[in-house]
Amino acid sequence: MFSGGHFFKDQLQPSLAEPKLGHTDDARVRELELQVERLLLITEALWRLLQEKHGFDENELVRMITMIDLEDGKLDGRKPASPPKPCPKCQRILSKNRPRCLFCGEPIAADPFER
């Protein structure tokens, strides 16, 4: 799954925006709810590990959440979409959710936090 320490977009799961064939809206909503629940479980497990192994406390977590939330200048509980990035090889603007540059074919390392 890693190549040189990086995820590549073609190795990640399909986009949540891509509905599966034959899925009704209700089924898609349920699928997304299950994925959110799984992410909450993973997030809580990671937070508990940080507390137990490194001694972080709730105040540090709240401070970091607030700092990240304010990166766009608004305290609104949201992280804005990532701006378009240039290809590291040809410098042309990359299409989001593509495993390779459309222009030169360069594999693109996925940023797991890109929106």
State how far the alpha carbon of 88 is from the alpha carbons of 9, 10, 11, 38, 98, in Å. Answer: 15, 17, 19, 33, 14
- Taking only the tens place, the pLDDT of each residue in 33-91 is 999 999 999 999 999 999 999 999 999 999 999 999 998 899 999 987 888 899 999 99
pTM of the model: 0.57
More confident residue, 60 or 109: 60
